[in-house]
């Protein structure tokens, strides 16, 4: 499960993308940026996958129906399409590094 929110920091407002583990409801990956874009979502997802090292063939991802949902959705499809295309030759963890 993931979402994007805004937070106030000492450097000003930032976008925070985070990924929660469904079982634990704990944050398993996150990324912060000045810009709201697909790279932010990719960084949060990549961080979660590197930390948790799940079986990527069995991953599911949920997000709310909010306006930022499309950013995560497009990023997820592209990320896993890339992993599936390269999985025969490389480790998924190398692809995300």
Sequence spans of domains, the chain: 2-52+61-89
Torsion from C-alpha of 48, 52, 56, 60, nearest 10 degrees: -60
Other beta carbons less than 10 A from residue 52's beta carbon: 12
Q: What is the pTM of this model?
A: 0.62
Question: Helix, strand, coil: what percent of the chain each, to 5?
Answer: 40, 25, 30
Question: pLDDT tens track of the chain, all 97 residues?
Answer: 788 889 999 999 999 999 888 788 899 999 999 998 888 888 998 898 888 877 766 666 656 656 555 666 666 656 655 555 554 444 444 444 4
- The C-alpha atoms of residue 34 and residue 67 are separated, in whole angstroms, by 18
């Amino acid at each position: 499960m993931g979402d994007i929110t805004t937070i106030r920091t000492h450097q000003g407002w930032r976008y925070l993308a985070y990924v929660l583990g469904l079982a634990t409801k704990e944050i398993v990956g996150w990324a912060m940026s000045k810009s709201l874009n697909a790279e932010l979502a990719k960084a949060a997802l990549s961080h979660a996958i590197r930390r948790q090292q799940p079986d990527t063939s069995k991953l599911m991802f949920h997000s709310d129906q909010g306006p930022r949902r499309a950013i995560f959705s497009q990023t997820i499809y592209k990320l896993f399409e890339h992993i599936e295309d390269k999985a025969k030759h490389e480790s998924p963890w190398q692809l995300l590094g």
